[in-house]
Amino acid sequence: MKPMKIPRIKNGTVIDHITAGNAIKVLHILNIPQQQGSIVSVAINVKSHMGKKDIVKIENREIAHQEVDKIALIAPKATINIIRNYDVAEKHKVILPNELIGIAKCSNPTCISNGGEPVRSRFIVVDKEKPRIRCYYCEREPDDIASRII
């Protein structure tokens, strides 16, 4: 057995199969780490049978899947594993929610959401499989979603 790049965790959440190179953005979307929060380990460009991937392990914190689902925007193949006493107690794939609020900036410079108004950015998810989102306000679809993450 090959040694693990980052050690197993006893309790917490493992986000696996993150699109290689996107782990930092995933952490940003999930607002992790927080001050005085749990230990977070990140592995980037890990080799797997499906090519390269990123992995995030968050100790002593179980993240509700509704909270994590929004990362499907930039990591559509990610899986969420809830770990209890070193075992995988729950496992599921991320599924994009119908709407995303406050996590991406509209790519249209003349969109009202970029105009200093007291609103958070809001996107309607138009395709959950190959992530496509449309600004709720101006209806523009950003080409490069990852670059629009706030």
Q: Which stretch, 31-39, 48-56, 106-114, 125-133, contacts another protein (CB under 8 A)?
A: 106-114
The token pair that represents 18 in the structure block: 């993150």
By the rule CB under 8 A, 112 interacts with another protein: yes
By the rule CB under 8 A, 121 interacts with another protein: no
Residues numbered 131 to 150 that lie near another protein (CB under 8 A) are 135-141
Side-chain-side CA neighbours of 109 within 13 Å: the count stands at 0
First to last CA, the chain: 40
Do residues 149 and 116 touch, judged by C-beta distance below 8 A?
no
Question: Count residues contacting another protein (CB under 8 A)?
Answer: 17
Q: Which stretch, 31-39, 72-80, 88-96, 114-122, contacts another protein (CB under 8 A)?
A: 114-122
Name the minimum Å distance from CB 76 to another protein: 22
Do residues 23 and 78 touch, judged by C-beta distance below 8 A?
no
> 3-class SS at 51?
strand
Binding site for another protein (CB under 8 A): 108, 110-113, 115-119, 135-141
